Structure 1
Amino acid sequence: MKGKLRPVGSPVPFPRIRERQELPWAAPYHTEFMGSGTEALSLAVAIAIRRHSQVSTPEVIIPAYGCPDLVSAIVAQGARPVLVDLLPDCAYMSDTWIREAITASTVAVVGVGFLGIPERLEELSGICREHNLFLIEDSAQCFPPASAFKPHADLVVLSFGRGKPINLMGGGALLVRTELAGQAEESVAQHPVSVLKVGVGWLIKRLVFNFLMRRLPYYVLERLPLLGIGETKFHRLVTISRLDLPESVLQAGLRDFQLRPLIHQRYDTELAGLEARGWKCLTSDRSEMSRNDLQQPVPLLRYPVLAPSKDMRDRAIATLNSAGIGASAFYERTLPQIDGVEAEVEGRDYPVASDFASRLLTLPTHENVTSADVTLIGRILLSLKEF
């Protein structure tokens, strides 16, 4: 097949109003739509800081492996990101290191969902309650958020940007626990509201964006060096705004997500023999979430596996990309190793997170992945041998 299968991302759906679906978190949370997921997280941090107004230099605990936007959102509020290492062979933060990191200046812990796999929010909630901290669920990579069904988090962050579970070409949301909405109102109200207009310009942008996601256009796009497709970069957050998001746009995104195929289940079958060769499929750690009351599984954003070694991971990525499959190392490094982030965080070693970053391989799970693609991926990975 000509071209290249993109690593992540679903097309932007056409906004037309049909049946209105209630938001799955409507009962326990109040929703504020925001300019982006990063802005939503930054506002969540601001709310947590306001609750601990006596703290001069507030601290927020995050995983040592993650998106640099986590750091951007925190430092934009004048707070200090405090990194903690992971549990072995997964993206979960270590309970032990979280407890070690808590000080009198800590205001919140951010539990970050990973490619559709939510953090262990019940455990984190217990720790936060012990120390009177806010628990923020960063569900930018997970939909629906785990707290929609068991509302452990005080605040929940969603993202509707490119490469996220629901792609609206931008925007995000902050979900505030209903009983906290009054406390959060002052922090929320100080930010201006921008309006998303679904006019001719937006519709043309949608058509162009969706076209560029096809195999041949993406193949060409990826080879333009100035675009930096797939690079992990640190960007400072300059402005925060709320968003007037048309209901038709959001409802189209919800409907599109519900119709998406469960590609990760095909991988589960095709890659079943990998673990006997020293690999680990991270979906085995995934708790099932629901699309609805039937408790059906939901799509993963990407399919994550850990290779036996960095060398094996790197060879797998090279071979898969040569075969037209957009495999990725994702962030590839821990946060202190990303340019621009090192100045904002404590630059010590995080050995478990470093090992995780060096061996992680992600595979595409969007609706354009075919059975033939999954078979090809399985054949390539199963053929690789350690030197």
Structure 2
Amino acid sequence: MSWNDHYRTEFTGSGTEALSIAVAIAIAHKPEVREPEVIIPAYGCPDLVSAIIAQGGKPVLVDLLPESPYMNEARVRDVITTETVAVVGVDFLGIPERLDVLSQICRDKNLFLIEDSAQRFPPVSSDKPLADLVVLSFGRGKPINLMGGGAVFIRRELADRSLAVVDRYPLSDLVTGFTWMLKRSVFNLLMARFPYYFLEKIPLLGIGETRFRKLKMISRLELPAELVSSGIRYFHGRPLIHRLYDRELRFIETFGWKLLGKRESGRACGDPDSETPRLRYAVLAPDNELRNQALRSLNRSGIGATAFYNNTLPRIEGVDELLKEEHFPCADDFASRLLTLPCHEDVKAADIALIANIFSELGIHR
């Protein structure tokens, strides 16, 4: 693996479990801290909160930069206290956080930097080890889909001192026999475009919903190297759908929309590796009303558009009981205007032409 020179890898039961182990390592390296705090973006997956509270930590939320998934570095500095142990930089839908900025803050304040790369592969730190710890997820809808599991990369300089933490968690083998292969075949069939479209319509399944779930168990997993390697090979063979979106949707910026992570001068904005397939393609609408109108129009046409998390963390059911009510103006605005489009291999040029036509009609009739 490209990161082996810089990191030791521990496979885990899920990406959330991997993040929780990363948090545990950061806490263990600061034994003098009694009420450890971990800084995370105010807009993100509720699993961020689950992973932190499972280790007795306190999530500290930070606002975003305007019209951006990046954390506001000034606000990061403002919330750091003597109890802070780590900052989590989240690579949003394949668009990496500005780890160079966050790593400078962490070095200045003697904090751990955790790169949450559950939505991006490879992690930024695999080639340039800016983060002390890196987290991957191998679950449904993630870049490397192994039907579950995750990984935490531990910087080699920290690996020996982190063994006591890692060894707290039981290790089990993943058996990839006939039953597992059959389950994977059925799983992949159901996750194909049209079966998944109908599964999403069944309310009891709750597919695609953003939910807060407490992390009840943490374990390590012995994953076969060939399984991980095959998942990586498959990922690198996926088409770069975001390039088509960049080209075909450029015109919607004249209507006040914003393409996030758009390629500029041959590279994706803020992306050190523009050849990396995206998890989904993200755009910001001019306002909430037009975003919701676009969602309705796109989904009526069979396009799997989403508002993604739809709310900031303090407004997600379950999380709101754990965090004090705060206002994060940029994150609130981002959540109200974000729209995401599919980037999987079943998306064809005709689908993107249909999407472009829908956006064009919305702009004309606005």
> Does TM-score exceed 0.5, indicating one fold?
yes
Query: Which residue pairs with 1:18 in the alignment?
Result: none
Q: What are the within-5 Å matches in structure 2 for residues 208-287 of structure 1?
A: 208-284=186-262, 286-287=269-270
Matched, 1:127 2:105: yes
**Cα shift at 1:190:** 1.1
1:138 corresponds, among 113, 116, 120, to 116
| Aligned equivalents of 1:258, 1:213: Cα separation in 2 | 19
Matched, 1:33 2:16: no
- Structure 2 runs not aligned, ≥5 long: 263-267
Query: Which residue pairs with 1:355 in the alignment?
Result: 333
Q: What are the within-5 Å matches in structure 2 for residues 92-103 of structure 1?
A: 92-103=70-81
1:158 corresponds, among 126, 133, 136, to 136
Count of residues paired in the alignment: 360
Q: Deviations over 1:215-265 (max 9, x none)?
A: 332232122110011100000001110100011210110110111100000
**Cα shift at 1:272:** 1.0
| Aligned equivalents of 1:343, 1:231: Cα separation in 2 | 18
Query: Which residue pairs with 1:45 in the alignment?
Result: 23
| Aligned equivalents of 1:176, 1:184: Cα separation in 2 | 8
Q: Deviations over 1:120-177 (max 9, x none)?
A: 0010000001111000000000100000121110000000000101100000000000
- Structure 1 runs not aligned, ≥5 long: 1-22, 291-295
| Aligned equivalents of 2:14, 2:205: Cα separation in 1 | 21
Structure scoring higher RCO (CA < 8 A, sep ≥ 6) equals 1
| Aligned equivalents of 1:306, 1:101: Cα separation in 2 | 27
Question: Scaled by the length of structure 1, what TM-score is found?
Answer: 0.91
8 Å CA contact 2:96–2:271 kept in 1: the answer is no
Deviates more, 1:209-218 or 1:90-99: 209-218
**Cα shift at 1:183:** 1.1
SS in 1 for 2:198: helix
Q: What are the within-5 Å matches in structure 2 for residues 1-387 of structure 1?
A: 23-284=1-262, 286-290=269-273, 297-385=275-363, 387=366
Amino acid at match of 1:255: R
RMSD: 1.1
Deviates more, 1:214-223 or 1:274-283: 214-223
Amino acid at match of 1:68: P
**Cα shift at 1:182:** 0.8
Query: Which residue pairs with 1:13 in the alignment?
Result: none
| Aligned equivalents of 2:100, 2:208: Cα separation in 1 | 33
> CA 1:288/1:91 → structure 2, altered by over 3 Å: closer, same or farther?
closer
| Aligned equivalents of 2:21, 2:193: Cα separation in 1 | 37
Query: Percent identity, aligned pairs only?
Result: 59
8 Å CA contact 2:306–2:340 kept in 1: the answer is yes
Amino acid at match of 1:222: E
Question: Scaled by the length of structure 2, what TM-score is found?
Answer: 0.96
8 Å CA contact 1:155–1:175 kept in 2: the answer is yes
Amino acid at match of 1:70: L
| Aligned equivalents of 2:297, 2:60: Cα separation in 1 | 37
**Cα shift at 1:344:** 1.9
Deviates more, 1:299-308 or 1:221-230: 221-230
Deviates more, 1:214-223 or 1:60-69: 214-223
8 Å CA contact 1:300–1:365 kept in 2: the answer is yes
**Cα shift at 1:365:** 0.5
| Aligned equivalents of 1:51, 1:29: Cα separation in 2 | 17
Amino acid at match of 1:332: N
| Aligned equivalents of 1:289, 1:82: Cα separation in 2 | 28
| Aligned equivalents of 2:116, 2:193: Cα separation in 1 | 31
| Aligned equivalents of 1:350, 1:317: Cα separation in 2 | 24
Deviates more, 1:186-195 or 1:217-226: 217-226
**Cα shift at 1:35:** 0.6
